[in-house]
Structure 1
Amino acid sequence: MRILIALTLLIGSSTAFAATQCTTADKSTWQDPGKFQAQLKDQGYKISKFKVTKGNCYEIYGFDKDGRKIEIYHDPVSGKAVKTEYHD
């Protein structure tokens, strides 16, 4: 029974900490980070922080055009949002 509980905890914790994966494409195919951020700003986003994640995503922290606090993971090749989280 202890082994079953330990395995359940191990499996649950590994999925909870799994990184969002955006692409496996070569970095030479990625959009220019500066131009990408400029496009988002043109759409009304306010970017407080921008980074590249371990899962090969462009991740932004900031506010959307409605002033909601957000964290968005983007595919750096297509620019599409892969995951969006709203924060209070």
Structure 2
Amino acid sequence: MRTRVLIALSLLLGSSTVFAAPECTTADKSTWQDQEKFQAQLKEQGYKINKFKVTKGNCYEIYGFDKDGKKVEIYHDPVTGKAVKTEYH
């Protein structure tokens, strides 16, 4: 029984890093793309943004739908605009 509990705990602790938000940049915020313009560019590409925020890891994070209508959560580098991590739900 004790072994099972230890295995379960190690699996939970090991998997917690899988869901961690990425670190996108350490660049000064003066070099970041304008948030509203960035969102407008994504919308022009067909994305529907339900929620937009800046993460603790200095990413632009969006929750919404991609151009194919799939529910998505995407982390972007705010300097380059490049998608750093994409999760489909």
**TM-score category (smaller protein):** 0.7 to 0.9
Distance 2:48 2:13 in 1: 37
Structure 2 spans left out of the alignment, 5+ residues: none
Query: What residue is the counterpart of 2:49 in the other structure?
Result: 47
- The equivalences for 1:2-81 within 5 A come to 9=10, 12=14, 15-16=17-18, 18-81=20-83
Q: Scaled by the length of structure 2, what TM-score is found?
A: 0.82
Q: TM-score, normalised by structure 1?
A: 0.82
- The alignment partner of 1:20 has SS state of coil
Aligned residues: 83
Give runs of ≥4 in structure 1 deviating > 6 Å.
none
Give the alignment's Cα RMSD to 1 decimal.
Answer: 2.0
- Consecutive unaligned residues in structure 1, runs of 5 or more: none
Do the aligned partners of residues 18 and 65 (structure 1) sit closer, same or farther apart at CA in structure 2, a change above 3 Å counting? closer
Percent identity of equivalent pairs? 82
